[in-house]
Structure 1
Amino acid sequence: MEKKRWIDITQPLTNDMAHWPGDTPFRFELGVTKEQSGSVNIGEIRTSLHMGTHADAPFHFDGTGRKLHELDVNTYIGRARVIDVTAHPSLGRSELEDYDLEGVERLLLKSSETNNPLVFPETFIELLPDIGPYLRELGIFLLGIDVPSVDRTDSKELPTHHSLGDNGIHIVENLMLADVEPGDYDFIALPLAIHGADGSPVRAVIKKA
């Protein structure tokens, strides 16, 4: 029997990757080289916490929301279902009602047939605010998506972030799902333990359940 292997669905963090307009781009460099120290290379990074594949803490969009270190790590480990929503330019309750989501706790939306980390998408799927209450009704507490945000790029009110947050739905953005078949998977996407943070890059992996 072929052994099931973990599949990496993380955007690699590279110095030439695209970033949210106006946000701090990712930058890695050697702060100290082995030649300078006599023993080791020491790298350093500068980045927004929302670069690449990342988790949003409620504090990201709610000044009184929980910060990263206050979230349960178990939220980001467990069974997840990937569904293909590439046919939908927008997605809300009425569209999701056509999918079998019985027993699902973590839902990953494959919304794009391509996902190029080097190019910030001009347009991407619009998630409607009525998605939050519906996911809560179903018992879903984590939503992952393969685009930079659950809200539109030009949104200042962030209605879908708030809808999800108000209904206890945790958010993971910028997954790499273009080559992933719909179905059930074991899922790990652990944020870094950054005290007081509004979000964190994650290393997201899945394995066929």
Structure 2
Amino acid sequence: MTLDQFTPTNYPRMSAWHEGWTDVTYPIFENMTGWPGQPNTHLETLSCIHCGDTAKVSVLHMSVHSGSHMDAPNHFMAEGIDISRSPFEVGLGPVRIARIDCAAEVTPQDLEDYEARTRPLEAGERLILRTPNSDKGLWLQHPFDKDYHGIGPAAAAVIAKRKLALIGVDYLSVGPFYEGNPQTHRTLLGGDVWIIEGVDLRRVTEGDYEMICLPLKIVGSDASPIRILIRPAAAQ
């Protein structure tokens, strides 16, 4: 096709590239649910048009582990790289979303049950778990729930052994609150599995999707907010 022949109507993929995407990013707002002991999210106004200033300018105060975010290896590994060095391709491409109806933490059996009804997990794949966390509504408006469903260390070891590229969860931490949180993080990050947390899967069903997920390039940071979009994968 020459440049003269190109029009949006005869090149449908270009004209419809934005269609079908669902935003599964949680919003950032004042006093949103955060990890216990971390500062509340606060949006400060430096200047205001209605107050007579030329422009509105704001400053956002928040933990980088608030809302939808990606962890960097240096979050739990002293020699790990920071979020500014994360490979952008890790968040771009096919992703599997698995419904995990776990009673407590995610176990190896939960992963085996998922594989049995779908297909085995393969090296390099991306996987996001939809647990009972997603059925609790907009949890960012609620007090922090220490009984959320995280990935237990044993299940993390399975994920690392499968050599997945990325694992995602639908609450603020990939590991359980009471026991095994550091072990889960270190097992995954040490196995070169990138972690995204706080994905909004309330209206998402199990299946195969495409994903766009990019962190901010914050030098030295151990995490970053993300904007994450998914759409159903094209039928093969």
Q: Shared fold (TM-score greater than 0.5)?
A: yes
Cα distance change of structure 1 residues 57 and 181 upon mapping to structure 2, 3 Å threshold: same
Residue pair 1:85, 1:109 contacting (<8 A) in 2 also: yes
Shifted more, 30-39 versus 54-63: the winner is 30-39
The equivalent residue for 2:13 is: none
Does 133-142 or 176-185 show the bigger shift?
Answer: 133-142
Q: 1:30 offset after TM fit, Å?
A: 1.7
**1:115-168, Cα deviation, whole Å (9 max, x unpaired):** 421112231114221333422443411000001112222458611001101111
CA deviations over 1:148-202 (Å, ceiling 9, x no partner)? 1122224586110011011111110111112101001111221111011100111
Q: Quote the Cα distance in structure 2 between the aligned partners of 1:176 and 1:64.
A: 31
The answer (yes or no) to whether the contact 1:81–1:107 under 8 Å persists in 2 is yes
Question: Is 1:124 aligned to residue 148 of structure 2?
Answer: yes
Counterpart in the other structure of 2:87: 72
Query: Is there any run of 5+ residues in structure 1 with no aligned partner, and where?
Result: none
- Which residue identity lines up with residue 172 of structure 1 in the other structure? I
Q: Residues 91 and 150 of structure 1: is their aligned pair in 2 closer, same or farther, counting only changes over 3 Å?
A: same
Corresponding residue number in structure 2 for 1:55: 70
List runs of 5+ in structure 2 lacking aligned partners. Answer: 1-15
Over the matched positions of the two proteins, sequence identity in percent amounts to 28
8 Å contact kept, 1:146–1:173: yes
Give yes or no for contact 2:152–2:176 (8 Å, CA) kept in 1. Answer: no
- The aligned residue for residue 188 of structure 1 is 212
Task: Give 1:87 deviation, angstroms.
Answer: 3.6
How large is the Cα RMSD of the aligned pairs?
A: 2.0
CA drift of 1:70 comes to: 1.5
Task: Determine which of 160, 174, 195 is the counterpart of 2:198.
Answer: 174
Q: 1:28 pairs with 43, 46, 68, which one?
A: 43
Supply the AA of the counterpart residue of 2:31. Answer: D
Q: How far apart, in 2, do the equivalents of 1:157 and 1:19 lie?
A: 16
Number of the residue aligned with 1:114: 136
Size of the aligned set, in residue pairs, is 207
The answer on whether the counterparts of 1:101 and 1:138 sit within 8 Å (CA) in structure 2 is no
Instruction: Return the structure number with greater helix share.
Output: 2
Q: Secondary structure at the match of 2:192?
A: coil
State the TM-score, normalizing by the size of structure 1. Answer: 0.90
Q: 1:206 to 1:170 in 2, by over 3 A?
A: same
Aligned positions of 1:138-153 closer than 5 A = 138-153=162-177
CA distance in structure 1 between the aligned counterparts of 2:28 and 2:73, rounded to whole angstroms: 23
C-alpha distance in 2 between matches for 1:26 and 1:12: 12
Distance in 2 (CA, whole Å) between partners of 1:45 and 1:126 is: 28
Q: When you count strand as a share of all residues, which structure comes out higher?
A: 1
- Whether the aligned pair in 1 keeps the contact of 2:73 and 2:190 (CA below 8 Å) is no
Please say if residues 85 and 217 of structure 2, whose CA atoms lie closer than 8 Å, have aligned partners that are also in contact.
no
One-letter code of the match for 1:118? Q
Amino acid at match of 1:70: R
Report the CA distance between 1:205 and its aligned residue: 1.3
For 2:226, the equivalent position in structure 1 comes to 202
Shift of residue 62, structure 1, vs aligned partner? 1.3
Give the residue type in structure 1 aligned to 2:162: L
Q: Report the CA distance shift for 1:46/1:20 in structure 2 as closer, same or farther (over 3 A).
A: same
Aligned to 2:125: 105
- TM-score between the two structures when normalised by the length of structure 2: 0.81
**In the superposition, relative to structure 1, how do residues 178 and 23 fare at CA in structure 2: closer, same or farther (>3 Å)?**
same
Worse-matched range after superposition: 111-120 or 179-188? 111-120
